[in-house]
Structure 1
Amino acid sequence: MRTRILVVGGLGLVASTYGLVRLAYGLFLPDVQRDLGFGADVGGAVSSAASVLYCVGAVVGFLLAGRAARWLVLGAALTAGAGAIVMAASPTTPVFGASAVVASTGAGLASPAMVQLVAGRVDGAARDRAQAVVNSGTGPGLVAAGLLALVLLPDWRTAWTVAGVLTLLVGAVVFLAARPTRRAVTSGRPARPVLPGRSWFGAQVVPVVVALLFGAGSAAVWTYGRSALVGAGVPSASTVVAWIVLGVGGASVAGTARWTSGVPAARTWSLTTTLAAVAVLALGLLPHLVAPALMACALFGWGYTAATGALIAWTTEIDQQHAAAGTALLFVVLVAGQALGAAAAGAAVGRVGTATTFTAAAAVVAVAAGAPLLVARRSLRSVPSR
């Protein structure tokens, strides 16, 4: 029973730290900007700094998960939950920005902690299913954030307060459910992570580069996706529905996994990121057309989530023994790319406009999609024929 609570609570922790707090920043941004009076450049800088601190949290989580996963859960809930509550009460832009940056750390701490807790308490085939359930939380979290916005906006302060309280409550449930079991006590001291060798890092070059590019290109949607719709004159309720559709697209990956699981990871990556590039371009050029914009949001949600799954499969294909280390590396690089992309998009939107900014972002995502195919083609050409 406790294991089931742990898994369901873990899904809720991922949903809250990612969907309700970290990624909901772009959802509430237009209303926050209106009330606190800051521009797109400041919004992009805050998003960029939040991505950097997410990376710090993910690295800390990777290093400490084997020894203190339960306490990492507590840290994730406190940073994300309390950060969201301070965001809600912020009287000025600096206070809001600083609390948003701190709140983003929670998502970085949550993922490695939950991977470790599930691995230590669930056996066999059930373990893989449990990991999949927990890691699917981002999509439902985005949907929950959208529903919250649909009910409460333009009162973003109450929305952030509710998100923060829910995050603290879910974190408490997971913390209590993760109390050491007899199995955990008798299994001895947790092993420290074994770092891979130099050749392993060399094999990760291509996925690292494309993950960085994809993160940079996708940041335009996560930070300014709703702002683009608002700026195009789309009714506020429809812009929130678009965010909900984005979350539904991400959640639908669970239903399409059986078709993508048998495909080589690099090929899956190219497919999913190509569709994401199309979605980014559509949002940039057609934000005033509600139906195409909604379709683009659903497509981006699916493409982004499926692409992150392809990264996990890709590094697992390279070296299954160090799949956890590879996943941590690629996700940190992905979010580091988002930090760069958010800052660049924030500087560009005010100067060249949304359409040009999103077109450039789509081009970056397209490069990330095509790079593995070019590398594979060059590798085939380099093989001598008999």
Structure 2
Amino acid sequence: MQHRSVSWHAARAVALTAAGTALIAATYGLVRLAFGLHLPEMGAEFGLDTADLGLVSAAASVVYGLGAGIGFLVGDRLPRALVVAAGLTAGCGAIGIALAQHSGVFVAAAIASSAGAGFASPALVRIIHRSAPEPSRATMQAVVNAGTGPGLVAAGSSAWALAPDWRLAWIVAGAATAIAAVAVLALDRPAGTESAAAHRAPPLSWWVAHRAPLVAAAGFGFGAAAIWNYGRAVLVAAGAPESSSLLAWVLLGVGGAAVIGTAPLARRLRPGSLWALSTIPAAVATALLGLLPGELVLCGAACLVFGWGYVTATGALIEWTTQIDGARAATGTAVLFVVFMLGQAAGAAAVGAILESVGPAAAFAVAAAIAGASGLLGAERLTRSGRPACSRSEGAPGARRAPRP
């Protein structure tokens, strides 16, 4: 009987991981990041130029940040409510984009849909943390966070299969989001008692310990905005066929999905080392795509590298805050992702303006420089930091000590 119970819990953990991965795939890959995928067609239909779409994307990043900010406030106490909010905002926003006939409706739906990803990340961090046995939590978190990659593959593949009907692709995205959210709610079963520390406001020592990841997250968010928002548009403007530009997007997803395979190796590294290993190659890939958009093979390779680097970097942020204070992993994830997307909002607006006035080489070079600097900053700061005071003083269950330098 005990063996059967263990097998059931193991099977449920696998199913919860799959459902969580699907929710990240939907809210990020099919909805939030797919905005850049359909940007050329949507901009042409609604009469919006690159600078206009950059402002829309910036506003969407701010709304994502607001969603993650709400996750910061309630993620450790009400993760199920956040899952519901993620399904409603991303799902209804995607349907709104699909049905929009006027630019105002389109803009409102596009902005609102990004909140779903902001709600989903902190909710899933808490759900996995409380529902999974400690030895498997880190692996489950890494796999769930890597859902962005399969979501991007699905987004690119559906755009390819359904082209030129981009509206139907958004309907598929909305339906997939709703199904994934319901699956997570059905499979969530807390395994033990919640930590009291997780429900208290973080102390000052917690914020001090997060100085380095906060700065690093903002910088990489700024740099990542270039490819996500304008990568396909730059390829199209350089003369790439529609099929090639869509393939490049699929390769972004393939690179992101590859994180699932590299997760066991990544777990052997300190979060700061993993951060540098992922963000610096992503920065190089950004610079190459802006400099040589007509070299399709090189751009395809750059998309693979960037996809892997981006998803690995977001996973490193989760591991970074978990190492600082595991009991507040959802809170830390929400804070870092808020800062990350505020950086991306600034990047979307700034890169769009530079792109419109100067061109892709300069715009992507600026983004790459800031992203690369954030990678160096993150690694340097973490390797010099000792064990955070908040993890030692609180004695919170689930908190892990940071390794000594």
Given the two structures, how large is their TM-score scaled by the length of structure 2? 0.86
3-state SS, counterpart of residue 199 of structure 2: coil
Does residue 63 of structure 2 align to residue 61 of structure 1?
no
1:72 and 1:350, CA in 2 relative to 1: closer, same or farther beyond 3 A? same
Aligned match of 2:96: 86
Q: Is the 8 A contact 1:66 1:191 kept in 2?
A: no
Summarize deviations over 1:109-147 as a string: whole Å, max 9, x none.
112222222333333424443333322211110110010
* Aligned pairs for 1:254-269 within 5 A: 254-269=260-275
* Alpha-carbon separation, structure 1, partners of 2:76 and 2:210: 23
* Alpha-carbon separation, structure 2, partners of 1:188 and 1:287: 50
Deviates more, 1:65-74 or 1:359-368: 65-74
Does residue 247 of structure 2 align to residue 237 of structure 1?
no
Q: Is the 8 A contact 2:197 2:328 kept in 1?
A: no
* Alpha-carbon separation, structure 2, partners of 1:262 and 1:79: 36
Q: State the one-letter code of the partner of 2:281.
A: L
Q: Is the 8 A contact 1:15 1:142 kept in 2?
A: yes
Aligned match of 2:375: 369
Mark the runs of 5 or more structure 2 residues left unpaired by the alignment.
1-10, 386-405
* Aligned pairs for 1:326-341 within 5 A: 326-341=332-347
Mark the runs of 5 or more structure 1 residues left unpaired by the alignment.
380-386
* Alpha-carbon separation, structure 1, partners of 2:334 and 2:91: 23
Q: Is the 8 A contact 2:146 2:312 kept in 1?
A: no
Aligned match of 2:6: none
Aligned match of 1:282: 288
* Aligned pairs for 1:289-328 within 5 A: 289-328=295-334
Aligned match of 1:193: 199
Aligned match of 1:108: 118
* Alpha-carbon separation, structure 1, partners of 2:136 and 2:166: 39
Give the alignment's Cα RMSD to 1 decimal. Answer: 2.4
3-state SS, counterpart of residue 48 of structure 2: coil
Q: Is the 8 A contact 2:266 2:274 kept in 1?
A: yes
**Which of 338, 342, 346 is the matching residue for 2:348?**
342
Q: Is the 8 A contact 2:76 2:331 kept in 1?
A: no
The number of residue pairs the alignment matches comes to 375
Aligned match of 2:256: 250
1:117 and 1:240, CA in 2 relative to 1: closer, same or farther beyond 3 A? same
Q: Structure 1 residue 175: deviation in Å?
A: 3.0
**Which of 163, 175, 179 is the matching residue for 1:165?**
175
Q: Is the 8 A contact 2:286 2:302 kept in 1?
A: yes
* Alpha-carbon separation, structure 1, partners of 2:323 and 2:81: 31
1:167 and 1:296, CA in 2 relative to 1: closer, same or farther beyond 3 A? same
Aligned match of 2:133: 123
* Alpha-carbon separation, structure 1, partners of 2:380 and 2:127: 39
Aligned match of 2:149: 139
Does residue 227 of structure 2 align to residue 225 of structure 1?
no
Q: Is the 8 A contact 2:75 2:331 kept in 1?
A: no
* Aligned pairs for 1:175-190 within 5 A: 175-178=185-188
Given the two structures, how large is their TM-score scaled by the length of structure 1? 0.90
Q: State the one-letter code of the partner of 1:254.
A: I
Deviates more, 1:63-72 or 1:80-89: 63-72
Q: Percent identity?
A: 47
Q: State the one-letter code of the partner of 1:203.
A: A
Does residue 166 of structure 2 align to residue 156 of structure 1?
yes
* Alpha-carbon separation, structure 1, partners of 2:289 and 2:146: 25
* Alpha-carbon separation, structure 2, partners of 1:57 and 1:200: 21
Q: Is the 8 A contact 1:213 1:364 kept in 2?
A: yes
Does residue 276 of structure 2 align to residue 270 of structure 1?
yes
* Alpha-carbon separation, structure 1, partners of 2:129 and 2:384: 39
Aligned match of 1:26: 36
3-state SS, counterpart of residue 67 of structure 1: coil
